[in-house]
């Protein structure tokens, strides 16, 4: 019987998912090109960071922490209160690409994740432009 290795395991598990979330929010908070994205978030990014960590853990094939704590992610519904257009989508994706590069996620895995991240971020759009 062949076992498949999850993305969670391939990238290094909990520690690397944590590093990815830390770097993502550090970049969002400090890089001027992400200012519109940053403006959608509360002053403290810790809650957002923790929720992304829990979500990505399960999404990558690790422990389903978000579902255990909050139930089904319902991503589009949870993001509906925020005006998300192409600019915010593109900033989110660019920030995540930089974070993945900065923490050293292997290029082949980054490429696959980029496609999935873009599709998910695009689905979050709820305004024109």
pTM of the model: 0.93
- Count up the domains in the chain and report the number: 1
47 close to 78: Cβ distance less than 8 angstroms: no
Q: Domain range holding 104?
A: 11-123
What's 86's domain CATH number? 1.10.490.10
Digit-by-digit pLDDT tens for the chain (129 residues) are 556 899 999 999 999 999 999 999 999 999 999 999 999 999 999 999 999 999 999 999 999 999 999 999 999 999 999 999 999 999 999 999 999 999 999 999 999 999 999 999 999 999 987
Integer Cα distance of 78 and 48 in angstroms: 12
Q: Residue 106: inside a domain, yes or no? A: yes
Residue 3 belongs to a domain: no
Residues 51 and 66: beta-carbon distance below 8 Å: yes
């Amino acid at each position: 019987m062949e076992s498949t290795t999850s993305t969670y395991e391939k990238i290094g598990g909990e520690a690397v998912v944590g590093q990815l979330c830390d770097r993502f929010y550090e970049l969002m908070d400090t890089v001027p090109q992400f200012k519109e994205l940053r403006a959608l978030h509360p002053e403290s990014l810790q809650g957002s960071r923790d929720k992304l960590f829990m979500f990505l853990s399960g999404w990558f094939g690790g422990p389903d922490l978000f579902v255990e704590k909050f139930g089904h992610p319902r991503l589009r519904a949870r993001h509906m209160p925020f005006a998300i257009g192409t600019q915010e989508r593109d900033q989110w994706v660019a920030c995540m690409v930089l974070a993945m590069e900065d923490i050293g996620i292997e290029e082949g895995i980054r490429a696959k994740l980029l496609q999935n991240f873009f599709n998910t971020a695009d689905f979050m759009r709820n305004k024109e432009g």
